[in-house]
Amino acid sequence: MRNKFYEEPIDEYLPQNGNRGYRVSRYELGLVYKVSSNRLSGRAEITAVTTGIRDRFSLDLSQALGVSKVLVNGAKAAKYVHQQGKLVITPQQRIPAGGALALVVQYAGAPKPVRGPWGEVGWEELAEGALVASQPNGAASWFPCDDHPSSKASYRISITTDSPYYALANGTLTHKQTRASQTTWVYEQSEPMATYLATIQIGHYRKQRIDTARGTVPMHAVLPPRLRVAFEHDFARQPQMMATFADRFGPYPFDGYTVLVTDDDLEIPIEAQGISVFGANHCDGHRGSERLVAHELAHQWFGNSLTIGQWRDIWLHEGFACYAEWIWAEAAGDATADTLARAAHHNLARLPQDIMLSDPGPGRMFDDRVYKRGALTLHALRLELGDPAFFNLLREWTARYRHASVTVDEFTDLAGHYSSVPLRPLWDSWLHSAPLPQLPANRTA
């Protein structure tokens, strides 16, 4: 059934997500969560600027959460309708284009993941706590928002929960206060962040600092005490990874990096801005998940600082993070990126050749073939440009679009400045055609 407030979609891959008429600059979330009953109460203060004159504005918000009050620009309660995942707000007076739009939404309920073609994403209740994994459209499971990756804003997240639990959110912990049986944790995320990268993690965790050289990026671990010994072995090479990626990709884009390990097993790790979340199964004592450790760290550059504006360009996140696995293996002396690329190419050639990287389709945007072909595209580009030009390109890419939204055209245009020959044949074969091209010869081998 089509929502009666339906407009042309912002993104064809997620037609129900994202909203028109305004740009959010900041979210201030005041949340109270009761672990035993999975009860979330929230107050969201949203600061935005209008982009046109409209009768009403909409936010994405799960129907599992009930709205009790909405204020617009400090006025008395505004009219609103909450249906089919949209909170549609009608101000008492029209706001001119370029005008301030300050929204306050009070809400509460039992949060649960949002169902979609990619399974369930968003707020997930654990046996002893909660986790949030929102990619691509689960942010609305726990706060009202403009849930689209092109909508980036700063955040203040305050989470009050039962005192035995540790609560982690994005950014810097600026305040912590315990009263009676509850503790309030306040985090400030000053760099712009897409909604799907906002997270809260609650559990019986302890925080520890990871030893790094003086003057390098601060790194921390948050995990159950039982996993500390395995973690310290399995994640021991993270500081070397950070140094390798800072050299190859440019300076780390945030103030710090935290790895959280849940007490539960997770099928795959979870990315968030400044944070990566792993399951207990990723601490096996044998570094069996080290490639994933590298993959998630690389997302801080590719996905979190540089964020796609449309989901069809997902390879700009996943292809780069996958290629970072090979860069780390090469730097660690395990195998060259060329060896790993040719092995991946051999495996990919045996699978159906029916995905076009520039437009894989919403049902396939998280297909492993998109990840691997994206990485192979970068390796083909590296072989074409040579190492000095290729890594100079990556460093300029991350510097020029730091904390911004990006497109494939912007990357291919920038790459053209590093090549003495036209790159159109490379892009046509790797991005815009389904059959898997051959990798160029490695002239340095």
Phi and psi based region of residue 289 (left: phi greater than 0; alpha: psi -120 to 50; beta: remaining): alpha
- Give the whole-angstrom CA distance, residue 439 versus residue 445: 14
Q: Which range of residues forms the domain containing residue 243?
A: 210-293
pLDDT at position 116: 85
pLDDT at position 352: 96
Same-domain pairing of 285 and 353: no
Active site residue 12: no
Same-domain pairing of 56 and 192: yes
- Report the half-sphere exposure of 322 (CA within 13 A, side-chain side): 23
Residue 443 lies in a domain: no
Residue 438 lies in a domain: no
Active site residue 13: no
Tell whether pTM > 0.85. yes
Same-domain pairing of 379 and 238: no
Query: In the sheet where 57-60 sits, what is the strand order?
Result: 57-60, 86-90, 79-83
Enter the tokens of residue 171: 């950014």
Same-domain pairing of 159 and 216: no
Residue 368 lies in a domain: yes
Same-domain pairing of 224 and 243: yes
Q: What torsion do the CA atoms of 338, 343, 346, 348 make, to the nearest 10 degrees?
A: -100
The number of distinct structural domains making up the chain is 3
Same-domain pairing of 117 and 236: no
According to the annotation, is 299 in a ligand binding site? yes
Same-domain pairing of 289 and 312: no
According to the annotation, is 318 in a ligand binding site? yes
Residue 441 lies in a domain: no
Residue 16 lies in a domain: no
Cβ-based neighbours of 11, under 8 Å, separated by 6 or more = 17, 18, 148, 310, 311, 312
Residuewise pLDDT in 10s, the chain (445 residues): 444 555 789 999 999 999 999 999 999 999 999 999 999 999 999 999 999 999 999 999 999 999 999 999 998 789 999 999 999 999 998 999 999 999 999 999 999 999 988 889 999 999 899 999 999 999 999 999 999 999 999 999 999 999 999 999 999 999 999 998 999 999 999 999 999 999 999 999 999 999 888 889 999 999 999 999 999 999 999 999 999 999 999 999 999 999 999 999 999 999 999 999 999 999 999 999 999 999 999 999 999 999 999 999 999 999 999 999 999 999 999 999 999 999 999 999 999 999 999 999 999 999 999 999 999 999 999 999 999 999 999 999 999 999 999 999 999 999 999 999 999 999 999 999 999 999 999 876 5
Longest Cα separation, the chain: 70
Answer whether 65's CB lies under 8 Å from 40's CB.
yes
Answer whether 269's CB lies under 8 Å from 253's CB.
no
Same-domain pairing of 127 and 232: no
Q: Which of 124, 296, 325, 384 is catalytic?
A: 296
How do residues 242-273 score in pLDDT, each as one tens digit? 999 999 999 999 999 999 999 999 999 999 99
Residue 50 CB coordination number (10 Å)? 19
Same-domain pairing of 34 and 182: yes
Final residue in a domain of this structure, among 144, 171, 203: 203
Backbone angles phi, psi at 126, to 5 degrees: -105, 170
* Distance from the Cα of residue 92 to its chain's centroid: 35
Residue 120 lies in a domain: yes
Enclosing H/E stretch for 401: none
Residue 303 lies in a domain: no
Q: What is the CATH number of the domain that holds 254?
A: 3.30.2010.30
How, if at all, do strands 129-133 and 172-179 pair? unpaired
Backbone angles phi, psi at 274, to 5 degrees: 80, 0
Final residue in a domain of this structure, among 203, 227, 248: 203
Residue 119 lies in a domain: yes
Which of 312, 316, 294 has the alpha carbon at shortest distance from 304?
Answer: 316
Final residue in a domain of this structure, among 293, 326, 360: 293
Same-domain pairing of 246 and 312: no
Q: Which of 155, 196, 371, 418 is catalytic?
A: 371
- Give the whole-angstrom CA distance, residue 81 versus residue 89: 7
Q: What is the CATH number of the domain that holds 86?
A: 2.60.40.1730
Same-domain pairing of 82 and 111: yes
Same-domain pairing of 119 and 242: no
